[in-house]
Amino acid sequence: MTENEIKLLNYLISHFRAGKINANDPRTHLPYSQVHAELGLPHDGRTLGDSLNFHAMGGLAKWLFDNQLPAITGVIINKLNSPELERRGMPSPTYFTFHGREDLDYIWQREQIRRACEINWGAELERRGITLEDTFPLPEEIPDTVVEGARKSITVNAYERSSAARDACIKAHGVKCSVCNFDFEYVYGARGKSFTHVHHLTPLSEIGGEYELNPVNDLRPVCPNCHAMLHRSGNISIDELKSEIEFVNVLRR
């Protein structure tokens, strides 16, 4: 693979590993314009989709196909407000034709994304001789602050969540849940390695615009169940949720 193809592979896998992608929710998928910009690819007169395909996506798609891995480039889509109604939230026709599928075969596309969310990418790539660069900085290399936020509008206000901040949090605090101590690798083995959610101690929805975040002080790893409970019926603190769990356990004794 070329440098750009490996860069795109690393970029996409980081989103899957971070738990940011939901196969059935195109709002969590990645628009061509966003991917093109964040990879820093040149503007060379092509459309963004064609440019991305030329510089990285086409070669990566072929490598994934040849190695019998999920067609993860299907997570790169047209914007949800695209003037082409039928292509909103969908990849380009080239994605489907390359794989011998009918255009707009969204059932197959979402199955590929679902598989990508579940696969152990580290093990699969290692078997094929691919090692992606370690994105976890050493503790002394973690910057004092990381800019996170960047408010944007889809159908509701959402916030970009920096993968660099997440990685710094995990490097500092590990992957065990800060509430219940659940460890995905201990329970699920290799499939669960490095998996966790990251909880912002101050919810992003309560912060407008951009803000300066210290990954070590402001973020904590939590399991998906505890993460949901932290945000259910209003936001509560980790210590408050721990106390609620302890109270329920006392009642059951």
Signed CA dihedral, 31, 82, 59, 100: sign only: positive
Residue 191 lies in a domain: yes
Please indicate, yes or no, whether residues 154 and 70 belong to a single structural domain of this protein: no
Please indicate, yes or no, whether residues 69 and 11 belong to a single structural domain of this protein: yes
Residue 66 lies in a domain: yes
In percent, the amount of the chain with pLDDT more than 90 equals 47
Q: Over 90: is that where the pLDDT of 214 sits?
A: no
Query: Helix, strand, or coil here: 153?
Result: strand
Please indicate, yes or no, whether residues 122 and 150 belong to a single structural domain of this protein: no
pLDDT band at 206 (very low <50, low <70, confident <90, very high): low
Please indicate, yes or no, whether residues 150 and 93 belong to a single structural domain of this protein: no
Which amino acid, 67? N
Compute the distance between CA of residue 88 and CA of residue 69 in angstroms, rounded to an integer.
Answer: 25
Quick one: pLDDT at residue 134?
Answer: 46
Nearest to 170 by CA among 137, 213, 123, 133: 137
pLDDT in tens, 58-112: 999 999 999 999 999 999 999 999 899 999 999 999 999 999 999 999 999 999 9
Q: Over 70: is that where the pLDDT of 49 sits?
A: yes
Please give the sequence-ordered ranges of beta strands (E in DSSP) within 61-102, or none if there are none.
76-77
Please indicate, yes or no, whether residues 11 and 40 belong to a single structural domain of this protein: yes
Q: How many domains does the chain have?
A: 2
Question: Does residue 34 contact residue 28 with C-beta atoms inside 8 Å?
Answer: no
Tokens 């510089």 belong to residue: 55
Compute the distance between CA of residue 44 and CA of residue 50 in angstroms, rounded to an integer.
Answer: 10
1 Cβ contact list (under 8 Å, min separation 6): 9, 59, 60, 63, 130
Residue 134 lies in a domain: no
Structural domain for 232, as ranges = 139-252
Element (H, E) at 147: strand 146-153
Q: Over 60: is that where the pLDDT of 121 sits?
A: yes
pTM, two decimals, is 0.55
Answer with the one of 81, 99, 127 that is the final residue of a domain.
127
* 133 compared with 92, residue with greater pLDDT: 92
Q: Over 70: is that where the pLDDT of 211 sits?
A: no
Residue 132 lies in a domain: no
56 Cβ contact list (under 8 Å, min separation 6): 2, 4, 5, 7, 8, 39, 41
